[in-house]
């Protein structure tokens, strides 16, 4: 008998067991060394694991079977994303990591056959990585209609000039999708910009630096680039979708993306909660008096459990709605999960650190990596405050006559 409304289907449950085995066998044993060491130095080992994932039929779960994936729908993939979130390497090994997964979905829907063959196919096969360049240091990313990056048409080419930052995973990527203004005079601010694919070996492109995040600049996949386009010339056929459709496409890209992120965050919470409980049992204040016997610690464990459970039900419900009624019908739910789950993520990581005491802030556990790198969850994909406004406006409207 089904024990929960959102119990995974037998097909997904069987897959979860296989992914869990893979994580325990191959990923957990190396994750600390990879994330606190040199990601680049580990690339051969990581590629080996990616090949193994292919061999075991676990690669790219979000892609259709004809594209080499498992053909899972968004709702089914949500469960996998939760499990893979337990390791910072989880999504990467199975080629369903942000920002590539968003670019894959976008290109699948809107790129020309030529771009699909040249860039999407190797991306789906895990042979290359990509990034997404929209945010600019000099403009508020929360309202991205204000962009200085311009793409001017000259014959069969666009000439792109602009400065972007927080282009995640730019280091080592083969191409970016850049959001650039193509029609500055358009009266509708949402129709001024377009998405254009730029190969990163273009002489007009420059990775200025990997931006240090609380002291850690990272490298390769685990990095956020500051990048520059200077008279960067690309064929007009590198346009994705139609000219002026940049913001409409960005919305398409973000709907399912928030499910992926939220389930990944829940996976992190579950692992942090597990670490918190184990430490509370093992660490003794006096012989026979573990931390777990203290009521404050019990409160943190109970609160974390409740918050994680609420998050999980909310996100799965939203994924179900998107799956069956489309992202538009789930607009407010998508905003709700974004700000609710990102806050739960902060709460749970912080409590887990506190229970670990000094150990919690060292790089001897995963907690400090998450504390540093997941703080951004309340900022990217729309800062929490923007999502709260979207939701509140809708609620208030429902009471106005
Ligand atoms: C880890 C990380 C990864 C990222 N990856 C990418 C990427 O790959 N590609 C890319 O293009 N960008 C990326 N970004 C950038 C991200 O999209 C922006 O940081 C985000 O849109 C916010 O823009 P901003 O940083 O300019 O903040 P601002 O727009 O300057 O806002 C600052 C703060 O003001 C408050 N605020 C904003 N609007 C409102 C409002 N309407 N009501 C109340 N308060 C408000 C919020 O608290 C917000 O945090 C990433 C960011 C982070 C942190």
DSSP-assigned letters across all residues of 97-108: -TTHHHHHHHHH
Is there an atom of ligand 1 within 6 Å of 383 CB? yes
| Alpha carbon distance 362, 377 (integer Å) | 21
Q: 388 vs 332, 334, 392, CA distance in Å? A: 9, 11, 6
Is there an atom of ligand 1 within 6 Å of 311 CB? no
Residues of the chain with pLDDT under 50: none
pLDDT at 350: 98
pLDDT at 256: 85
Is there an atom of ligand 1 within 6 Å of 254 CB? no
pLDDT at 2: 73
pLDDT at 4: 82
| Residue of 142, 170, 218, 228 with the most ligand 1 atoms within 8 Å of its CB, for mutation | 142
**Ligand 1 atom closest to 164 (CA):** 11
| Alpha carbon distance 45, 259 (integer Å) | 29
pTM listed for this prediction: 0.97
Residue nearest (by alpha carbon) to ligand 1 atom 48: 383
Is there an atom of ligand 1 within 6 Å of 167 CB? yes
Whether the CB-CB separation of 164 and 227 falls below 8 Å is answered with yes
Please give the distance, rounded to the nearest whole angstrom, from the Cα atom of residue 321 to the centre of ligand 1: 26
Residues 6+ apart with CB under 8 A from 157: 233, 234, 235, 236
Is there an atom of ligand 1 within 6 Å of 224 CB? yes
At residue 251's C-alpha, the angle toward residues 400 and 210, to 5°, is 125
Is there an atom of ligand 1 within 6 Å of 122 CB? no
Per-residue tokens: 152:
């001017």
pLDDT at 162: 98
| Alpha carbon distance 94, 91 (integer Å) | 5
Per-residue tokens: 284:
């003794």
């Amino acid at each position: 008998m089904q024990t929960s409304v959102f119990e995974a289907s037998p097909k997904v449950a069987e897959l979860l067991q296989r992914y869990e085995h893979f994580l325990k066998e191959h990923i957990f044993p190396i994750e600390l060394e990879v994330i606190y060491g040199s990601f680049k130095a580990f690339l051969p080992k990581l590629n080996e694991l990616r090949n193994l994932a292919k061999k075991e039929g676990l690669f790219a779960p979000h892609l259709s079977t004809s594209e080499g994936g498992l053909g899972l729908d968004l709702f089914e993939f949500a469960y996998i994303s939760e499990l893979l979130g337990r390791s910072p390497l989880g999504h990467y090994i199975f080629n369903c990591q942000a920002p590539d997964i968003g670019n894959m979905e976008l290109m699948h829907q809107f790129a020309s056959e030529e771009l699909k063959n040249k860039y999407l196919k190797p991306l789906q096969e895990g042979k290359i990585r990509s990034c997404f360049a929209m945010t600019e240091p000099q403009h508020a990313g929360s309202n991205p209609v204000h962009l200085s990056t311009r793409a001017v048409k000259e014959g069969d080419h666009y000439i792109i000039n602009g400065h972007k930052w927080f282009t995640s995973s730019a280091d080592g990527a083969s191409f970016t999708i850049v959001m650039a203004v193509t029609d500055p005079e358009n009266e509708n601010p949402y129709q001024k910009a377009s998405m254009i694919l730029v190969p990163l070996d273009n002489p007009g492109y420059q990775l200025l630096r990997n931006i240090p995040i609380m002291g850690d600049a990272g490298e390769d996949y685990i990095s956020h680039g500051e990048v520059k386009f200077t008279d960067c010339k690309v064929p007009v056929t590198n346009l994705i979708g139609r000219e002026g459709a940049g913001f409409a496409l960005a919305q398409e890209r973000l709907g399912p993306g928030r499910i992926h992120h939220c389930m990944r965050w829940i996976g992190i919470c579950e692992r942090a909660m597990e670490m918190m409980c184990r430490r509370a049992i093992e660490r003794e204040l006096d012989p026979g008096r573990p931390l777990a016997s203290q009521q404050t610690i019990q409160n943190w464990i109970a609160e974390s459990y409740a918050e994680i459970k609420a998050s999980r039900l909310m996100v799965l419900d939203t994924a179900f709605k998107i799956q069956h009624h489309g992202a538009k019908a789930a607009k407010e739910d998508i905003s709700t999960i974004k700000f609710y789950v990102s806050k739960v993520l902060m709460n749970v990581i912080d409590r887990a650190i506190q229970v670990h005491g000094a150990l919690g802030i060292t790089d001897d556990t995963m907690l400090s990596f998450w504390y540093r790198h997941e703080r951004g969850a309340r900022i990217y994909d729309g800062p929490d405050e923007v999502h709260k406004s979207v939701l509140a406006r809708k609620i208030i409207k429902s009471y106005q006559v």
